[in-house]
Structure 1
Amino acid sequence: MTREVATDLYPAARDILQTLVGFDTTSRGSNLEMIAWVEAYLDDLGVPHRRVANADGTKANLLASIGPMIEGGVVLSGHTDVVPVDGQPWSTDPFTLTQKGDRLFGRGTCDMKGFIALALAAAPELAAAKLSRPVHLAFSYDEEIGCLGAPHLIEVIRNELPAPAVVLVGEPTSMEAVNGHKGIATFHVAVTGREVHSSQPHLGVSAVMEAVTLMSSLTRLSARLMDEADPASPFTPKGPTLTIGMVQGGTAHNILARECSFVFDLRAPGPRSPAEIIAPFLAEAVAMDQALKARAPEAGVVVEMRTDVPPFVPEPDGVAEAFARRMAGDNGPPRVVAYAAEAGQFQAAGFSTVICGPGSIDQAHQPDEYIDISQMQRGAQFMRRLIDWASEAA
């Protein structure tokens, strides 16, 4: 039975969040300083843990287990990395937790160090209790640049832990259960031309101008995907979305550019694969590659898929969704989100999965990112119920 009156976990979570925000874990850098702090915190509690590092050891996932090593536990999953603050007009230091009224400001407060802070705030009571079910902490790296760290972490969980019953991914959902998200695939397109004086374009190949042709094709495809979206889709926007996020190319106005590259992402709910959706574009890129090589052997087009995160789809009678709703006191309608997360990766590995965490995606990635204190308090209540669940007789 859930205790209605118990120690408030929020003050401890706020203190931990202050520490976590102070670590600049922007994806382009390392997260090891933060991981080391969490390890020391868990060591003080006697909680066993292990790193699951990347290939060169510059970043690491962290996996910890509290309670009996038996099946039927819950995984609390969160990513440690944050997006850059470069060029954003912050009114506070983004790496110093700052309270203004009923909001806590700082990079990562809602996406998603607030959730990690709540999980860590619950750890002392979990470690001291006589648990009947285990609680596993799974903190990843490089989620923001394509969910790159989670697959290795998920592999370790699947192969080395007793099978958990639930994976709870704590992305910001205003503490409401979410049972679906779109997948995301990112692509890098490199166009190579031949440099000549701009007064002699017949002797060269402008990589920039050829890239513009390809980008125009993607723009048309993006519009078509919007027009053809299933009106019954629960997502907003309803269908796949395609956006070009970065473009680089050229050296001077009077030189035909030798190189131009751009990056685009495709967010799709399924069931069509990213390759199927962009097949017309890929065919155009192949045709352009051949045409450019006929004009200049060194010219061409290369399209590379950099990341491919699967969509997260609603589970019939989902165990994880039911668990999150019970812990959160959530009786609302089914919900999906348009952003991608690691939930699809956990689900693809065979785990019943749900997304539920404090804060709103509306504040994520913004200057002056913040989380409402009320959201942290709701998250603390969630963790309190989770402690009771893990302690009660199975």
Structure 2
Amino acid sequence: MLFETIFMHTYYIGILMPGMAIQKKLLTGLASKTLREKQYGFLRNFHNTDFFFALSGLLLTYTTLKFLRKNGGKFNFLQFAINIYLRFYPTIFGVILLYYLLPLVDHGPFWHHMDQHFVYACRHQLISSMLSYNFYDIDLEFLQNHSFCNLATWWANSCFHLMLLSPLILLPLYRFKSPIISIFFLIISIIVGCLISISHLIFYGSPYANQWSKMDSFIYESLYTIYYTWPFIHHISAFIFGILVGYLILDYPKIYLGGKIGECILTIVFVTLSIVGFQWTHTLHKTPSNLAKLLTTSASDLEIYLNITIGKLLWCSGFMWIFYLCCTKREFWSKLFNFPSLRPLYNLSLQIYLINLIPAIWLTFRTKDTIDFDDMFMFQQTICNIFITTILSFLVHLLFDKPVQNILRILLIK
């Protein structure tokens, strides 16, 4: 999933952002194909990051509930908040410093686009980025001209805020004695999260995604779709879905319908739900090739609302079920998804997610001439991006994240 995100970011930086200035074929090239052709559906999966929110909820629940049960329910919110902040923001600070250094590493006729659209924002948003509110103070005109300081940080900000609010779910969950009440409480919380995620759209009535026929301004109102997904309120349901799975892993590790056959049936069902969620989402955001159809037809508001609320849960369900199987020591699944060679990268997942835009930006804007963005070119860019991102992630982990975690460990021992 992380590699798919890198792939998506590499494509979008090159073909749908300021990189358009260096494309030989804009309207007939890859930029237009990604919006309408089936094989590029993975680029239109707007819910892919909800998997990371669900996984964060799962991991947080597993560790926090075990801690509460071990310590008799004692909980220090201030210590909890500081610990979570220091898990995210030393890395974010290190990544912002890389943006400050980016103008020094290359040059070229298109290099000023990189500085204008990506580095300028970091010079003006350092404090708001470190205080985690830069994606809530949004100016569409600024976004159009200068983007934001490290766009990938939106996920870390939202996840940080969801984790800060997680005690509102986890503490009652710890105190409930009845499993029926616990599961009912979580299901109601997921439903409330779904309603909150679409309340902004309903209240303002703004067009979403590819509802081109309802837009008065393509530029501004299509940008609304992008920043609409950034605040944490739009990912509450996926996060609590992860909390539900984490709770089931702890208290009900043997959910299967009578044995191996039942386990296989559930696996087929949940994986199918993920496939359905993916197909639904990328088809919904497919742009018609016919200009007249593009300007006159749009997805209904009801379908948009259903996709935002249910589509993301469908997409996450198969992955969460596989995590459930692996975490409850199902031997077959544990071996199937056990990749020892990738273990060194497990601790670098946050760094990889936050840094992968930097190599994509550098590889795109360092060019000295216009480029034909085709599949082979983007594939080569992605391979280079993964390699450079891994190296930079390791350096940021050593220089910023690891020292802070070591200090925290020493203080906790004392």
Fold in common (TM above 0.5): no
Q: Which of 1 and 2 has higher RCO (CA within 8 Å, sep 6+)?
A: 2
- Scaled by the length of structure 2, the TM-score of the pair is 0.23
Q: When you count helix as a share of all residues, which structure comes out higher?
A: 2
Q: When you count strand as a share of all residues, which structure comes out higher?
A: 1
Larger radius of gyration: 1
